[in-house]
Amino acid sequence: MNDKKFNAAITAVGMYVPDEVLDNKYFESILDTSDEWIVTRTGIKERRKLSNGATSDLATEAALDLIKTHNIDPKEIDVVIVATVTPDMFFPSTACLVMHNIGAVNAWGFDSSAACSGFLFGLQTATSLVESGRYKKVLLIGADKMTAISDYTDRNTCILFGDAGAAVLLEPAADTNTGIMDTVLHCDGSGANHLNMKGGGSLNPSSYETVDKKWHYIYQDGKAVFKVAVVGMANVAAEIMERNNLTADDVKYLVPHQANLRIIDATAQRMGIGREKVTINIHKYGNTTAATIPLCLCEYYREGKIVKGDKLVLAAFGAGYTWGAAYIRWSI
Ligand code: UT7
């Protein structure tokens, strides 16, 4: 069904989290909530906040970490994709700002909007660009400054989110036995009312009214999203295993989007794998939207837990609704 000669493969990783920590005690001091409620219902203990700066700064730091660690010449980067729902501005793209900051003077690029599935959607886009044979180095960054759109008077949402950026470089692999093996991606716009930010776009341009109504913050019907996220993420992980003939034993790690530990556990259970085979850092960073998956990849790789040849299943669910999975054979 497929006559491609080589895959795209992740050949470098980088990450950045700001120093400022907001722990659950902080939220106890400003809201009617408790560490116990937050940990039991979500798995989150603390998250990071970027007080000065924007998403482009998170993305730039992550990209520079990748460039320095793996000795990459930014002039050789062909394309930069930034997956984000918190761009610095509507335009220009955050990708343009990042390219300028890192000296990727020969690149073109763009922002990609698929919320918590943003990294997976970007991964398929970057993979296609590499597999086309036309581009050799595609930098994919997942970065979100979620604290910029969090309402710190709404206990339903603000405790969930944090700020981070993480990056991967995609290059041609030697063959089709390693790298990005497969992806499955889905969208269902009927979920738009349950998870969104209503204000500031062409539907509700910024006004005193949109500010009064708090439409410049995240709105989430947590219960409604939870129900579909559990089913969506578990189903899509099972789907990618099935169509690649993967058994639970084959998979070294499930690398899930970090929105809620209960959603992560449900997905692992559906795949028939235990917690020890799931990458988890939600307790440290909360939900960083497009950054969660590359952040996990980078941390687990640097800790020596993910090694060359490992079979990984990535899975995410987010606003849109958007959801998907990827099967990767790790290449570095
Ligand atoms: O990443 C993109 C996709 N997003 C997701 O996957 C998130 C999906 N949803 C969730 O993770 C969960 O629904 C939440 C963590 C957001 C909420 O957990 P829940 O178990 O679904 O709680 P709930 O919204 O049903 O609220 C239960 C109760 C409510 O009180 P009443 O109405 O039962 O009296 C809430 O008001 O918990 C209350 N509550 C809180 N209590 C203490 C909500 N937030 C808090 C809080 N502290 N921070």
The pLDDT tens digits of the residues spanning 77-132 come to: 999 999 999 999 999 999 999 999 999 999 999 999 999 999 999 999 999 999 99
Give the model's confidence band at 27: pLDDT under 50 very low, under 70 low, under 90 confident, else very high. Answer: very high
Q: How many residues does the chain have?
A: 332
Segment 40-59 shows an average pLDDT of: 98
In tens, the pLDDT along 180-226 reads 999 999 999 999 999 999 999 999 999 999 999 999 999 999 999 99
Is the residue at 55 inside a domain? Answer: yes
265 and 310 assigned to the same domain: yes
pTM metric for this prediction: 0.97
Query: How many Å from the N-terminal Cα to the C-terminal Cα in the chain?
Result: 27
SS3 139: strand
Q: Determine the distance separating the centroid of ligand 1 and the alpha carbon of 26, expressed in angstroms.
A: 18
Per-residue confidence (pLDDT) for residue 3, from 0 to 100: 79
Opening angle at CA 225, ends 248 and 152, nearest 5: 115
Structural domain of 121: 7-177
| Rounded alpha-carbon distances, angstroms, from residue 89 to 19, 56, 92, 219, 318 | 24, 10, 7, 20, 21
Q: Which residue has the tokens 């070294």?
A: 252
| Rounded alpha-carbon distances, angstroms, from residue 160 to 15, 90, 166 | 20, 24, 19
126 and 209 assigned to the same domain: no
Average model confidence (pLDDT) across the chain: 97
Last residue of a domain, one of 146, 162, 177: 177
Last residue of a domain, one of 177, 207, 236: 177
Residue 100 contacts by C-beta under 8 Å, 6 or more apart in sequence? none
Is the residue at 2 inside a domain? Answer: no
52 and 70 assigned to the same domain: yes
Cα pseudo-dihedral 5, 297, 118, 98, rounded to 10: -90
Residue whose CA is at the smallest distance from ligand 1 atom 2:
318
| pLDDT exceeds cutoff 90 at 1 | no
The answer to whether the CB of 259 is under 6 A from ligand 1 is: yes
Segment 32-41 shows an average pLDDT of: 98
Residue 254 contacts by C-beta under 8 Å, 6 or more apart in sequence? 237, 264, 267, 268, 271, 273, 277, 278, 279, 312, 313, 315
Domain tally, the chain: 2
Per-residue confidence (pLDDT) for residue 119, from 0 to 100: 98
| pLDDT exceeds cutoff 70 at 2 | no
294 and 314 assigned to the same domain: yes
Q: Determine the distance separating the centroid of ligand 1 and the alpha carbon of 158, expressed in angstroms.
A: 11
Q: Which of 116, 158, 296, 298 is catalytic?
A: 116
Last residue of a domain, one of 156, 177, 198: 177
The answer to whether the CB of 116 is under 6 A from ligand 1 is: yes
The answer to whether the CB of 39 is under 6 A from ligand 1 is: no
| pLDDT exceeds cutoff 60 at 302 | yes
Residue 262 contacts by C-beta under 8 Å, 6 or more apart in sequence? 41, 42, 43, 226, 230
Residue 197 near residue 320 (C-beta atoms within 8 A): no
191 and 292 assigned to the same domain: yes
Per-residue confidence (pLDDT) for residue 104, from 0 to 100: 98
167 and 185 assigned to the same domain: no
165 and 246 assigned to the same domain: no
d(CA 268, CA 128): 28
